[in-house]
Amino acid sequence: MKSNLNDIKKIIIENKDEIFNMLYGSWIDQIPWYLSRVIDIDSKYVYESFFILLEIWARENKIIFFPPEEFYNKKIKKYATPIKERQDYKIWDISVNDIINYMRTKIPKELYATFNQDISDEYCFGDFCPRIGWIDENGNIQFDFE
């Protein structure tokens, strides 16, 4: 089991394309699950690995982030965060660094200590976690809202 973050980062970088192909089209909750089950990472590093992978994919334009629902004002039907329209989707229009930092502040602290699928699902499906859209080989966003 890998328990050194530098070694884990190397493994993530070496396998990022294979992981992308395996998870393409999945909901965001499948990424930490996959890392915890398949990559053999010490559970306390699963979410740091998750953030590393999301950042790599976002910088490589393989994924985009949708704004978290906590920013949506239902009364005025607008987001209280910068967004841009792309292919009829509302994309979160802030830097990748800001998105990852936001996600780090919202993650339940116990997930940094050990991976727990129930708590992970609460985080990933909560109103404070952004959803991701996958970018296909033609540059189109793929996302299933159902």
Predicted confidence band of residue 35 (pLDDT cuts 50, 70, 90): confident
Per-residue CA distances from 11 to 14, 35, 51, 140, 146 (Å) = 5, 11, 14, 28, 32
Q: Are 41 and 34 within 8 A, CB to CB?
A: no
pLDDT at 146 over 60: no
pLDDT in tens, 70-128: 999 999 999 999 999 999 999 999 999 999 999 999 988 887 777 788 888 888 888 99
Alpha carbon 7 to its chain's center: 21
**Which residues, 6+ apart, have CB-to-CB distance to 45 below 8 Å?**
2, 3, 5, 8
Q: Which residues pair with 65 in a beta bridge?
A: 132
Cβ burial, residue 45 (10 Å; 0-12/13-18/19+): buried
On the CB side of 89, CA atoms within 13 Å amount to 20
**Predicted confidence (pLDDT) per residue in 78-91, tens digit:** 999 999 999 999 99
